[in-house]
Amino acid sequence: MADTEVRIVLKGRKIIGGRAEGEALTSKMPLMGWGCVNEKLGFVTERNHPLYEIPFKGKVLVFPEPRGSGGFNAYGATRRYNTNPAAFIYRQGFSLTVLAAMIMKVPTITDFDRDPVEVIETGDYVYVNGDEGIVEVVKKKK
Amino acid sequence: MYLNDGEKRILDGSKGYIAQKCMKFLVDYGEAAGAQRLVDIDGTVDIHPGLKTTWVSDYEITLTEIKELAARGEKFKVPTIGNKPIEPAFIVDGWQNCGTYPSSDPEHHKKCLENIKPLIQMGMVPILSCTYYLVSSYLPTAGQHCSWGESSAVPWANAILGARANHDGCFQSAYLGKIPAYDMHLSENRVATILVECETKLETDMDYDLFGWAVGEAVGIQVPAITNIGKPTWSQIVKMNSGLNTGGQVRMYHVPGLTPEAPTLEAAFNKTSCKHKIGIGRGDLKRIYDMLNYASNENVDFVFLGCPHYNIQEIQKVARLLDGKKCKSALWVMTNPISYQVAERMGYAATIERAGGILMSGACPGILRGEMPPASVMATDAAKQNYYMTGHVYPRALDTWYGTTEDCIDAAVTGKWQGGWR
């Protein structure tokens, strides 16, 4: 039987518009800033974190929520060092994620009809339409 | 987003270029956040003084622009408090003998003070501490809208005072006295959605630090109603808030009988039914304690105390523990500049200095981006400072011990970590 491509569409709320696509990098654990992400190197430096030292440049970064310090804006600062993800996708956030997204200026969507952390796995290919708040996920072949 | 006529006039530039630039930020931020409107701040704003008092660089108000405003006699519209300085961070008091660079450089210190002068001219009260709310001599009251900018402080506004604050304090909100009305400004977002029952007796300051972390980790960004936590001291509430916002991001919570929006448990849930309930026990605290003891080398080079910045009772405790002793390890004890002066008057700064430690104010190794005495093994009584520090010094390896203040002082004096779960 031929492989059939599995596509899933998620609808959320736009934070930052624009279009992007790329491979997903998903964290089930919240992300935190202030030394727990290195904006110059473009990866998580939080000890015990599943994304520790995994570069997120060009990836569609998917995570549940922020935690910790207002230094979360270091995610935004990745833009300055050209290490930023292609898009920012999260289940739920507030000022920490909004301000980081405004600095990062990549398509950013939240408040989805389904939990993006459950639906999108690392390695899935993701099309992000920030203007419409739509994410299309092409599941990786198993 | 809806704007009233006055706000529209600021946005169209009728009130000047800087006001327009500030309003543009508030509107773009509000729209990104999904806010329907702006709210007039009737409480307080806190900003991190330094070269960057704005969150998003596209909307930056430069030091030159702030100097121009100050020279014209312009003032912040609402009571504005200076948090710990950042960009750059600097040690406010006690830096002279710290031995680290650039903090020990008099020129650096002078320049940092110069940078924040125009903000002070505009009316920013230079408390210069992350625990500004303990000593600022002016705080918002219940229901007042604020714009704060310190993760460990935001629950002091929301939960302890019943004021309404998101984590967005900045030059723009202070200058215009407005902020997007969303999240914690709206009553419906302040209602408890999860019940957290403490299943152990919280006694020490460390218990509250660990309990806060455990709750934060369990509830994430939800609003918990927390029960059975006894009668925490102010030191313990500060520690709990810090833990809540390291293990998670709890900007609002209720403790029936303690926090003003929850005279009862029913009030915390606003009569909605409580759908989720969890318990936090001694085992949870032990698990986090073990996770924080990210160390194997018992030879401690550096002890850091004062995250969040110590209050006077905590300094007193340290001074009494150190009295007549000599430290083998480097010791920094960090407080806010107001409590620093009180501690000097009480002789505690001298006691700490005689023991070989330094009392300081206004910063921490974290906000100094890992600047600390040469160390490969550090000990601290703060879960927050402990956890972030390994990232701040990345890729350098750092052992970080965690324990009670007593364990940390013992480590400073003996040079050995002898703490343990008791």
| pLDDT tens profile B118-177 | 999 999 999 999 999 999 999 999 999 999 999 999 999 999 999 999 999 999 999 999
Q: Which band of pLDDT confidence, cut at 50, 70 and 90, is reported for residue B272?
A: confident
Overall average pLDDT of the B361-371 stretch? 97
Overall average pLDDT of the A119-123 stretch? 98
**Choices 3.30.420.40, 3.40.1360.10, 3.50.30.10, 3.90.1010.10: CATH for A7-138:** 3.50.30.10
Selected catalytic residue, list A17, A69, A103, A139: A69
ipTM exceeding the 0.90 mark:
yes
Find out whether B169 and B54 touch, Cβ atoms under 8 Å: no
d(CA B419, CA B413): 13
| pLDDT tens profile A27-64 | 999 999 999 999 999 999 999 999 999 999 999 999 99
Per-domain residue ranges for chain B? 5-187, 191-290, 295-414
d(CA B34, CA B30): 6
**How distant, in Å, are the alpha carbons of A32, A106, A123, B358 from that of A62?**
13, 13, 11, 43
pLDDT of A2 strictly over 60? no
* Mean pLDDT score across all residues of chain B: 97
| pLDDT tens profile B377-412 | 999 999 999 999 999 999 999 999 999 999 999 999
Q: Which residue has the tokens 């986090």?
A: B288
d(CA B52, CA B61): 8
pLDDT at residue A141, rounded to an integer: 84
Cα angle B236-B242-B248, degrees, rounded to a multiple of 5? 130
Q: Pick the residue from chain A with its C-alpha nearest to B57.
A: A103
What percentage of chain B exceeds 90 in pLDDT? 99
Judging contacts by C-beta atoms under 8 Å, the chain B residues touching residue A45 are 390-391, 394
DSSP class of residue B141 equals: -
CATH topology of domain B5-187: Aconitase; domain 3 (3.30.499)
Overall average pLDDT of the B252-276 stretch? 93
Closest CB to A30: pick one of B56, B166, B220.
B220
DSSP class of residue A70 equals: G
Find out whether B221 and A65 touch, Cβ atoms under 8 Å: yes
Continuous segment of H or E residues that includes residue B134: helix B132-135
pLDDT of A26 strictly over 90? yes
B356, amino acid identity: G
Please report, to the nearest 10 degrees, the dihedral formed by the alpha carbons of residues B212, B216, B221, B227 taken in order.
Answer: -60
Question: How close is the nearest chain A Cα to the Cα of B321, in Å?
Answer: 31
Map residue A107 onto helix, strand or coil: coil
Q: Which band of pLDDT confidence, cut at 50, 70 and 90, is reported for residue B422?
A: confident
Q: Which band of pLDDT confidence, cut at 50, 70 and 90, is reported for residue B325?
A: very high
d(CA B122, CA B77): 9
Find out whether B392 and B400 touch, Cβ atoms under 8 Å: no
| pLDDT tens profile B193-248 | 999 999 999 999 999 999 999 999 999 999 999 999 999 999 999 999 999 999 99
Q: Pick the residue from chain B with its C-alpha nearest to A80.
A: B57
Phi, psi of B358 (to 5 degrees): -130, 130
Which CATH number does B295-414 carry? Answer: 3.30.499.10
Residue B273: exposed, middle, or buried by beta-carbon count in 10 A (0-12, 13-18, 19+)?
exposed
CB–CB of A35 and B32 under 8 A? Answer: no
Task: For residue A69, indicate whether it is catalytic.
Answer: yes
Interface membership of B84 toward A (CB under 8 Å): no
Judging contacts by C-beta atoms under 8 Å, the chain A residues touching residue B384 are 69
Per-domain residue ranges for chain A? 7-138
Question: How close is the nearest chain B Cα to the Cα of A53, in Å?
Answer: 10
CB–CB of A92 and B221 under 8 A? Answer: yes
Q: Which band of pLDDT confidence, cut at 50, 70 and 90, is reported for residue A3?
A: low
Question: How close is the nearest chain A Cα to the Cα of B183, in Å?
Answer: 7
Question: Do the domains B5-187 and B295-414 sit in the same CATH topology, yes or no?
Answer: yes
Q: Which residue has the tokens 């992000």?
A: A128
Angle between helix B312-322 and helix B234-247 axes, rounded to 10 deg: 100
β-strand A37-38 against A43-44: which pairing, if any?
Answer: antiparallel
- The per-residue DSSP string of B347-384 comes to THHHHHHHTT-EEEES--TTTTTT--SS-SEEEES-HH
- The per-residue DSSP string of B263-283 comes to SSHHHHTTTS---EEEEE-HH
Overall average pLDDT of the B268-275 stretch? 86
Lowest mean pLDDT among B235-249, B265-279, B303-317, B339-353: B265-279
Overall average pLDDT of the A65-82 stretch? 97
DSSP class of residue B405 equals: H
| pLDDT tens profile B255-264 | 999 999 999 9
CB–CB of A48 and B168 under 8 A? Answer: no
Nearest CA among B222, B304, B303 for reference residue B268: B222
